[in-house]
Amino acid sequence: MKLFEQSLNILQSGVMILDQELSITFINQWLDNAFIHPYPLQDKKLLEVFPELADQRIHQCIQQALEQGLPSILSPGLNQAPLPLCHKCNCIHDNGEQSVFAQMIRIQPMEQNDQRYCMLEIQDVSTMMRREKLLNEQAEKLNRMALTDELTGIANRRHFNGLLEKAVNQTIQQNQPMSLIFFDIDFFKPFNDNLGHQAGDQCLARITRQLSSELESSGFHLARYGGEEFCIIMPDTEPEQASRMAECYRNHVEQLSISHPASKISDVVTASFGVAGFRAGQTDTFTGLILKADNALYRAKTSGRNRVVLSGKT
Amino acid sequence: MKDLSALELDALSEIFNISVGRSAAVLSELTGESVGMSVPMVHILSPERVVDLFGFSQEKLTCISQYFSGAFSGEAMLMFPERSSLEVVRLMLGSQVPLEQLSEIEQDALSEIGNIILNACFAAIADMLQGSFSCNLPEMRVAEIDQILAQSGQKQSVLFLQIQLSLEERNLEGYLAFLMGGESENMLQNALSSFLNGVS
């Protein structure tokens, strides 16, 4: 018996046995040290020492083990530190507060000489919690990076595909209209050749910055489709309305007055817009919508640039 | 055993509805989200029939199980399609983890969620049987339905319940299964009929 008790006392996790009066019949060294409490807890009543535990989930689980013989687990994800336990060496912060560590607790009923007891097994899982937090942050960062265009900070083409699919599904489900705009900077290659790639990058970044805040606040999504081509997903918007808004955006780009010495149609940077609509119940498809918008953009280009063309209108 | 009557099945589903309703309240308090749970139907099926009905999709299930022993013995399981289990635990933890598998924290949390629901059912069954049985801590595994039921081994029938879970405007479906061993099924039936006699 002595050997068992010795081993429990050198165990690097907590063990505590409570009787039906919630008296601490046994507590091992590790746990007694971890409790934020000035004196040893052996034979003390749990709720008298820690009245704040009354009616908490841990108390309910202990009662359930003692009264109904049912075991419970309290996981660190759902329970923020059920017991006041801390690392003695570094638990006092500069502000004088003690930091309680994350715990995994298992509560199991036991029986001896017709007496019900329950055993609490407590692990310090703060290292695991820290590791998973780090892992999640990394995963989120990678996820964000995989969906963002590095230069402009807006959605990239991969993200665009996902966003458009979602919007199309929503349009079908809720029987709403939706529109898609493709736009492209006029004479962008000559702009780059003339002023250099850095100026080209800056030009794209300025235009997206100008448009993105305005678009996001209306619930529209701006994405970089590739090179100097961009698209705007507009849920719950009729194509005629989208066309009018595209005219505003076209105007905004022109108003930025970014000097463009190599443009054949203006002194400043301009853009051409193609607009297409999608309505649930039509034979339209996801790909069909992209093709229609792209085709409208092509017609805007061939008919003189710096203009908006609505698909289906001649 | 003879088949349970419609009345007995109704009584069982009433009892389980109260149990899962209680555990929904515990989960709501624990997570700060509004959690609703109900059991629309109770079935008694053979394990083969369960595999028949649910094995077609080949989707893996996340299963939290607790063994129970004593006069009433067997294994109790709470199962969710793997994808729903990710959703359940992330809605409850309020997290936005982009990983495709359960993290360690999520596995533990899901075990606890299962533990809460299963314990509420055990408490109701013990109440009905007016006797107690002992029961183990929950274990979690991810497998297909036939693998999960194959581990039960012996020929026995399964008390099978659908669980409807509503969480933040999402409706998710899970299953509760009790694999009953030996005399457990007869015990349950006897307890049910005396329960019903006591009521009427």
Most confident of A136-140, A202-206, B155-159: A202-206
Token pair in block for residue A37: 């409490």
Residue contact B98–A128, C-beta within 8 A: no
Tens digits of residue pLDDT in A36-48: 888 899 999 999 9
- Classify residue A102 by its DSSP letter: P
Tens digits of residue pLDDT in B93-139: 877 666 777 888 999 999 999 999 999 999 888 888 887 778 999 99
Please check whether residue A36 is in contact with residue A85, taking contact to mean a CB–CB distance below 8 angstroms: yes
Check residue B62 and give its pLDDT. 93
Distance CA B51, CA B47 (A): 6
Residue B66 is which amino acid? Q
Q: Which of B36, B20, B6 is nearest to B170 (CA)?
A: B36
Q: Is the pLDDT of residue A108 over 90?
A: yes
| Model confidence band, residue B185 (pLDDT cutoffs 50, 70, 90) | confident
- Residue of B89, B93, B137 with shortest CB distance to A71: B137
Residue contact A78–B92, C-beta within 8 A: yes
Check residue B199 and give its pLDDT. 63
3-state secondary structure of A277: strand
CA distance to partner chain B, nearest, from residue A74 (Å):
6
Check residue A66 and give its pLDDT. 94
Q: Is A228 a catalytic residue?
A: yes
Residue contact B104–A132, C-beta within 8 A: yes
Which chain B residues contact residue A139 at CB under 8 A?
97-99
Q: Is the pLDDT of residue A166 over 90?
A: no
| Model confidence band, residue A176 (pLDDT cutoffs 50, 70, 90) | confident
Which chain B residues contact residue A77 at CB under 8 A?
89, 93, 105-106, 108-109, 112
Asked if A78 is an interface residue toward chain B (Cβ–Cβ < 8 A), one would say yes
| A67, HSE (Cβ side, Cα atoms, 13 Å) | 9
Pairing of strands B74-81, B61-69: antiparallel
**Buried b / exposed e along B89-123 (16+ C-beta atoms within 10 A):** bbbbbeeebeeeebbbbbbbbbbbbbbbbbbbbbb
Check residue A243 and give its pLDDT. 96
B178 pairs with which residues across the strands?
Answer: B76, B159
| A60, HSE (Cβ side, Cα atoms, 13 Å) | 13
How many C-beta atoms surround the C-beta of residue A229 within 10 A? 17
3-state secondary structure of A303: coil
Q: Of the given ranges (A56-70, A108-122, A165-179, A244-258), which has the lowest mean pLDDT?
A: A165-179
Instruction: Supply φ then ψ for residue A40, to 5 degrees.
Output: -60, 150
Q: Is the pLDDT of residue A226 over 70?
A: yes
Asked if A74 is an interface residue toward chain B (Cβ–Cβ < 8 A), one would say yes
Q: Of the given ranges (A75-84, A218-227, B71-80, B190-199), which has the lowest mean pLDDT?
A: B190-199
CA pseudo-torsion sign A81, B118, B169, A148 = positive
Is B1 inside a domain boundary?
Answer: no
Torsion over CA of A51, A57, A58 and A60, rounded to 10 degrees? Answer: 90
| Model confidence band, residue B155 (pLDDT cutoffs 50, 70, 90) | low
Rg (Cα) of chain B, in Å, rounded?
16
Please give the distance of CA A164 from its chain centroid, rounded to a whole number. 19
According to CATH, the topology of domain A2-130 is Beta-Lactamase (3.30.450)
Q: Is the pLDDT of residue B200 over 70?
A: no
Asked if A80 is an interface residue toward chain B (Cβ–Cβ < 8 A), one would say no
Q: Which of B79, B167, B151, B78 is nearest to B121 (CA)?
A: B78
Is B172 inside a domain boundary?
Answer: yes
Q: Determine the straight-line distance between the first and last CA of chain A, rounded to whole angstroms.
A: 94
Tens digits of residue pLDDT in A4-42: 989 999 999 999 999 999 999 999 999 999 998 888 999
List the 102-121 stretch of A: residues with Cβ below 8 A of B.
Answer: 104, 106, 108-109
Which chain A residues contact residue B26 at CB under 8 A?
57
Instruction: Supply φ then ψ for residue A306, to 5 degrees.
Output: 50, 50
Residue contact A57–B103, C-beta within 8 A: no
CA distance to partner chain B, nearest, from residue A38 (Å):
30
Q: Which of A121, A140, A116, A120 is nearest to A66 (CA)?
A: A116
Instruction: Supply φ then ψ for residue B43, to 5 degrees.
Output: -130, 150
The per-residue pLDDT of chain A, averaged, comes to: 91
Residue contact B108–A104, C-beta within 8 A: yes
Tens digits of residue pLDDT in B12-67: 888 899 999 999 999 998 888 889 999 888 888 888 888 887 766 678 899 999 99
Residue contact A75–B111, C-beta within 8 A: yes
CATH number for the domain that contains residue B182: 3.40.1550.10
A with B: how many residue pairs have Cβ under 8 Å apart?
A: 79
Counted domains in chain B: 1
Q: Is the pLDDT of residue B2 over 80?
A: no
Which chain A residues contact residue B89 at CB under 8 A?
77
Q: Is the pLDDT of residue A267 over 50?
A: yes
Residue contact A72–B119, C-beta within 8 A: yes
Residue contact B99–A69, C-beta within 8 A: no
Is B153 inside a domain boundary?
Answer: yes
Q: Is the pLDDT of residue A314 over 50?
A: no
Distance CA A277, CA A243 (A): 10
Please check whether residue A73 is in contact with residue B108, taking contact to mean a CB–CB distance below 8 angstroms: yes
| Model confidence band, residue B76 (pLDDT cutoffs 50, 70, 90) | very high
Name the catalytic one among A48, A121, A228, A247: A228
Check residue B56 and give its pLDDT. 64
**For chain A, domain boundaries:** 2-130, 148-310
- Classify residue B141 by its DSSP letter: E
Please give the distance of CA A77 from its chain centroid, rounded to a whole number. 17
Please give the distance of CA B16 from its chain centroid, rounded to a whole number. 10
Is B30 inside a domain boundary?
Answer: yes
**CATH superfamily label, A148-310:** Reverse transcriptase/Diguanylate cyclase domain (3.30.70.270)
